[in-house]
Structure 1
Amino acid sequence: MTDREGDSDHPFSEGEGFGDDYDEFDLDPPELGVDPAKVDPVDSRVVTDTLDRQNIDSDEVDASELLDVGLNYIQINRFEQATEAFERTANFAEDDLLAQEAWTNKGVAHAELEEYDEAIGAYREALQIDSESEHAATAETNLAYALWEFGETAQALEHAERAVEIDERFAEGWFNRAFFLSERGLAEEALHCVDNAIRLGMRNSQVLEEKAEILEELGEYDEAEEIAEEANEMRERAEQRVMEEREEMAGQQAGGGRPPNREDVEITDPGRVPEPESDDDWQLE
């Protein structure tokens, strides 16, 4: 090992040093337009979000396209990336309705990751923007689900009821309300709610299974058995379709078929169901 102590004969540079700061490079950090007294030190996003707004002009960001990026991430089950895309959409969106849709979808992505606390926060952010808009019912019913999973069962029913008050044609809102009522032993009210969901077009194996369980609670065993059989047949058909689609995709790949483009994928608002084409297609009980 070389002893470097006492070795002072090294010829250091005697240059004139640096002149003025370069325009493209500065050791000083940028000044952030944030009052430190108002920043939660636990909130690790504040610096990133502030830098985003400072470095990127909002006019250069198409928030609606950024929302589509998040929805595409959900389509391929990349939920963590989806949450980031939706949060940036909300930050850049100049339209409140678009920002509300972004927060609602961010909650959906968090729920898929079973991050219910974060999902609850996202839904509440959405509802703070507008509690009566077209996305408010979706936010309310999804908030109800997240609260239920988080153990806040009493609040869950309140928000499920609020969802159908905002939009009485919201099928998933009626289905979630039916579930929460059934869990509380209010089977008759639950049956009316699940029937409304079915009338509004939400007819799948999950809904039929819930209706069968409610009918069993009411002692309607014969009808419950018929509904359960229909649900089972529907599930088997859905599984068969999935298998056929996988086989078809495998055949296309083997034959050099092209992968789907973005235009081939239909993007829909998670949690939302198609509404009937006319008021004559349904009737509440």
Structure 2
Amino acid sequence: MSDERDRDRDRDHRFSEGQGFSEEYEDFTLDPPELKVDPTKVDPVDSRAITDMLDQRNVGSDEVDTEDLMEVGLSYMQINRFEDATVTFERAARFAEDNSLDEQEAWVNKGVAHAELEEYDEAIGAYREALRIDDDSEHAASAETNLAYALWEFGESEEALEHAERAVEIDPRFPQAWYNRGFFLLERGLAEDAVNAFDNALRLGMRNAGLLEEKARALEELGEYEEAEEVQEQADELREDAEQRLVEEYGN
């Protein structure tokens, strides 16, 4: 199992990378409107200006605003202070109304922060707590998708597929869930089912180099070499375009 996982890590692309949220997913954003400082315009030497501001907002008070805590946690995520984010999201969960959507969202976000730290055991616990609150809410599909990822990283690949399947059942219009389902199916040698899952993700608006690369890999396993080559070319073009945009953005 360890050799197989090492090979997976050597690939340029792995599936959800711990977050499982598309760019359009409104319930999890790394750009909270209340953050008054644009991190991309702050001198890295003076990045403490952001973190000091966040620490001030995160100090205890008699009246705790759960939404503010969530925004602080998301802001910590934005500047890669994931340990602080886990603490902040846990505080948000503790101060939120018991078994509310706010509490559930805080637990999901806490799991994401732990996953960024590769603390998959803690991430699994956070996602399970979120699902304990409600396994069929607007946040449940994201919890299931991220739980699947964390379980896979933790070596529980069979259970990971079960949760990926569950995510699709909860929200069949969540492209990331279809992508992850396709990844797990492909890992189990079910290439045809994987292609169908990847196609669903594409139809739902998810289009990136990683997804196309996985689809190309599945097509190769089916012996569809010509189509696989075409899809891989599309993936290469998307990756080149993304790299060019980065060069242009940071080269100016």
TM over 0.5, yes or no? yes
1:78 aligned partner, one-letter code: R
Aligned length: 192
Deviation of the 1:56 alpha carbon: 4.5
Q: Tell me which residue corresponds to 1:66.
A: 69
Distance change (3 Å), C-alpha of 1:203 and 1:192: same
Q: Tell me which residue corresponds to 2:132.
A: 128
Choose from 100, 107, 110 the match for 2:111.
Answer: 107
Deviation sequence 1:23-76 (CA, Å, 0-9, x none)? xxxxxxxxxxxxxxxxxxxxxxxxxxxxxxxx754xx11111110111111112
- Say which SS state the counterpart of residue 213 (structure 2) adopts: helix
1:165 aligns to 2:169 (yes or no): yes
Deviation of the 1:118 alpha carbon: 0.5
The structure with the largest helix share of the pair is 2
CA RMSD of aligned residues (A): 1.1
1:229 aligns to 2:203 (yes or no): no
Choose from 153, 172, 178 the match for 1:149.
Answer: 153
Deviation of the 1:132 alpha carbon: 0.4
* Percent of paired sites with the same residue: 71
For residues 84 and 209 of structure 2, what CA distance do their matches in structure 1 show?
A: 30
Q: Structure 2-normalised TM-score?
A: 0.74
Choose from 193, 199, 206 the match for 1:195.
Answer: 199
- Say which SS state the counterpart of residue 119 (structure 1) adopts: helix
1:211 aligns to 2:212 (yes or no): no
1:178 aligns to 2:185 (yes or no): no
For residues 76 and 109 of structure 1, what CA distance do their matches in structure 2 show?
A: 12
- Say which SS state the counterpart of residue 197 (structure 2) adopts: helix
For residues 90 and 224 of structure 1, what CA distance do their matches in structure 2 show?
A: 45
User: Which has the bigger relative contact order, CA under 8 A and spacing at least 6?
Assistant: 2
Deviation of the 1:93 alpha carbon: 1.1
Name structure 1 gaps, 5 residues minimum.
1-54, 249-285
For residues 223 and 77 of structure 1, what CA distance do their matches in structure 2 show?
A: 39
2:204 aligned partner, one-letter code: L
For residues 120 and 80 of structure 1, what CA distance do their matches in structure 2 show?
A: 16
1:92 aligns to 2:95 (yes or no): yes
Deviation of the 1:247 alpha carbon: 2.4
1:135 aligned partner, one-letter code: H
For residues 230 and 77 of structure 1, what CA distance do their matches in structure 2 show?
A: 31
1:244 aligned partner, one-letter code: E
1:69 aligned partner, one-letter code: V
For residues 74 and 202 of structure 1, what CA distance do their matches in structure 2 show?
A: 23
2:77 aligned partner, one-letter code: I
For residues 183 and 144 of structure 1, what CA distance do their matches in structure 2 show?
A: 13
1:78 aligns to 2:81 (yes or no): yes
Q: Structure 1-normalised TM-score?
A: 0.66
- Say which SS state the counterpart of residue 117 (structure 1) adopts: helix
1:140 aligned partner, one-letter code: E
For residues 120 and 137 of structure 1, what CA distance do their matches in structure 2 show?
A: 14
1:177 aligned partner, one-letter code: R
Name structure 2 gaps, 5 residues minimum.
1-59
For residues 209 and 114 of structure 2, what CA distance do their matches in structure 1 show?
A: 25
Larger radius of gyration: 1
